[in-house]
């Protein structure tokens, strides 16, 4: 199953996937060294899907119907009305649905056709295999889903599992599952985050950016910034990616998150034909030829890519060689890049 829902999920990390997977080719549009990452973590807030179950037409316009002169009819079986000395109290129950307050009435929260639209979306959801075990989902994510009804939470969990499972091999189907989860749990941050990550993998940059922004508004924190910046690049707005790298929130990222964001910002500089600026951006992350770990492998690869773009071939070869040596997960094509440089 995808790392996105691993049990060691960190709420605000920007841990990444490979920036360029082995065997992929292409020019600068491939954003070498800047590939997709599976951001982790976001907390949910309470889901209010129960509002969707309100009956058509919204709350009653008058609360409790009144007789002539605005006075309620004196009926002994009316529940909730108070009697004083055998007569009904004229005080209004201001908290009743539809009751007037300060000269205004509450309006119905449902828009026309909402129930039909929701039903149609659920009918068009992708099929779920019968052998999915919701226990495979991260316990923290399952906890977020407890604000939903039991049946709905189970369906959302299964769609999220399928989205994570299919993200690498079939990103379009993964996105359909992620959208189904979002449609069922739109007020749960982790569902919006899942939709955003799946849209990112499917190349739907605008949708990805909108969903990730929504997830961040719900959960707070500086997470997801690297993916959001890469979405800005995908939309042809590298300057926006650079601005995210300069934001106050960027300073709140952990070390790995800062590396991921710096790699994307350097890629944005390359998009703008500013190779030397890309080199400087990555130098701020203090790349080292004695470093280890997958995050450092990605940093070394991106640094080599920027050096190559700046015409500093010998230095680039040194960093590609180091990236290849410490790429324990074999996610990078550093060896191929070395071959290209001769």
Find all residues with CB under 8 Å of 184, minimum gap 6, and list them: 49, 122, 148, 152, 155, 156, 159, 191
| Between residues 79 and 144, the one the model is more confident about | 144
In sequence order, the β-bridge partners of residue 83 are 88
How crowded is residue 231: how many other Cβ atoms within 10 Å of its Cβ?
A: 29
Mean pLDDT of all residues in 153-163: 97
SS3 137: coil
pLDDT of 109 reads 55
The label of the residue with tokens 């990112």 reads 200
d(C-alpha 92, C-alpha 43), whole Å: 40
Residue 71 has pLDDT above 50, yes or no: no
The answer to whether 40 touches 3, Cβ cutoff 8 Å, is: yes
The answer to whether 9 touches 138, Cβ cutoff 8 Å, is: yes
What would the pLDDT profile of 274-330 be if each residue is shown by its tens digit?
Answer: 999 999 999 999 999 999 999 999 999 999 999 999 999 999 999 999 999 999 999
d(C-alpha 166, C-alpha 108), whole Å: 40
pLDDT of 223 reads 79
The architecture CATH gives domain 118-220? Alpha Horseshoe (1.25)
d(C-alpha 60, C-alpha 105), whole Å: 10
What would the pLDDT profile of 228-272 be if each residue is shown by its tens digit?
Answer: 999 999 999 999 999 999 999 999 999 999 999 999 999 999 999
List the chain domain ranges: 118-220, 223-342
Residue 127 is classified by DSSP as P
**What percent of the chain stands above pLDDT 90?**
61
What would the pLDDT profile of 8-17 be if each residue is shown by its tens digit?
Answer: 433 333 433 3
- Just give the CATH number of 223-342: 1.25.40.10
Give the DSSP H/E element, type plus range, for residue 119: helix 114-123
d(C-alpha 233, C-alpha 214), whole Å: 19
Angle at 238 between CA 232 and CA 239, to 5 degrees: 110
Would you say the CATH fold of 223-342 matches that of 118-220? yes
């Amino acid at each position: 199953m995808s790392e996105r829902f691993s049990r060691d999920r960190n709420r605000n990390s920007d841990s990444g996937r490979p920036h360029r997977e082995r065997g992929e080719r292409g020019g600068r549009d491939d954003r070498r060294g800047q590939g997709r990452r599976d951001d982790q973590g976001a907390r949910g807030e309470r889901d209010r899907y129960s509002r969707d179950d309100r009956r058509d037409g919204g709350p009653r316009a008058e609360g409790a119907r009144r007789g002539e002169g605005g006075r309620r009819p004196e009926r002994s079986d009316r529940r909730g009305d108070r009697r004083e000395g055998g007569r009904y109290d004229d005080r209004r129950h201001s908290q009743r649905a539809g009751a007037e307050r300060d000269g205004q009435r509450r309006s119905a929260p449902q828009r026309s056709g909402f129930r039909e639209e929701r039903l149609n979306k659920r009918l068009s959801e992708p099929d779920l295999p019968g052998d999915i075990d919701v226990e495979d989902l991260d316990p923290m994510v399952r906890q977020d889903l407890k604000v939903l009804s039991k049946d709905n939470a189970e369906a959302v969990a299964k769609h999220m599992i399928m989205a994570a499972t299919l993200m690498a091999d079939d990103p379009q189907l993964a996105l359909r599952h992620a959208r189904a989860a979002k449609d069922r749990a739109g007020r749960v941050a982790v569902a919006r985050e899942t939709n955003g990550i799946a849209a990112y993998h499917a190349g739907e940059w605008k949708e990805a950016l909108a969903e990730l922004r929504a997830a961040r508004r719900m959960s707070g924190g500086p997470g997801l910034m690297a993916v959001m910046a890469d979405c800005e690049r995908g939309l042809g707005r590298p300057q926006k990616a650079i601005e995210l790298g300069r934001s106050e929130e960027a300073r709140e990222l952990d070390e790995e998150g800062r590396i991921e964001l710096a790699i994307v910002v350097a890629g944005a500089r390359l998009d703008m034909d500013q190779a030397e600026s890309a080199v400087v951006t990555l130098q701020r992350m203090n790349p080292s030829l004695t470093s280890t770990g997958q995050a450092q492998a990605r940093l070394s690869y991106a640094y080599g890519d920027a050096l190559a773009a700046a015409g500093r071939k010998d230095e680039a070869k040194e960093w590609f060689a180091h990236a290849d040596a410490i790429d324990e997960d074999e996610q990078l094509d550093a060896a191929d890049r070395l071959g290209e440089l001769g």
